[in-house]
């Protein structure tokens, strides 16, 4: 598999407030099939045809802790994925 993953997490806490953020990125360019796989005209090599994807995720959280028992927070998450999935059918 030809891929890579990276992530970053960061945060800060003050007296009654805190902030956290994270970002991650996953990219997969190809995937190898088993050597026992019977190749077809649509899948001529061990490297899977039309198999790659990319995934990006961002998140943030803001919080307020007025005392030891209460917490109020606001969170936001964004995720975007792009997938290249095989759609051809071989009836040969």
10: β partners: 21
Do the Cβ atoms of 90 and 41 come closer than 8 Å? yes
Q: pTM value?
A: 0.66
Nearest to 49 by CA among 38, 57, 41: 41
Instruction: Confirm if 58 and 78 have CB atoms less than 8 A apart.
Output: yes
Average pLDDT over residues 47-72: 89
pLDDT band at 85 (very low <50, low <70, confident <90, very high): low
What pLDDT, on the 0 to 100 scale, is given for residue 1? 60
Query: Is 27 or 90 the better-scoring residue by pLDDT?
Result: 27
Model confidence at 91: pLDDT above 70:
no
Residue 89: is its pLDDT beyond 60? no
Distance CA 80, CA 92 (A): 36
Q: What angle do CA 5, 6, 11 make, to 5 degrees?
A: 145
């Amino acid at each position: 598999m030809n891929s890579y993953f990276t992530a970053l997490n960061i945060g800060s806490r003050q007296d009654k407030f805190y902030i956290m953020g994270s970002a991650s990125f996953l990219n997969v360019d190809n995937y190898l099939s088993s050597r026992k796989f019977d190749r077809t005209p649509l899948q001529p090599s061990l490297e899977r045809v039309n198999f790659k994807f990319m995934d990006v995720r961002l998140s943030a959280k803001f919080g307020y802790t007025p005392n030891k028992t209460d917490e109020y927070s606001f969170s936001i998450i964004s995720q975007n994925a792009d997938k290249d999935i095989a759609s051809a059918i071989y009836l040969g």
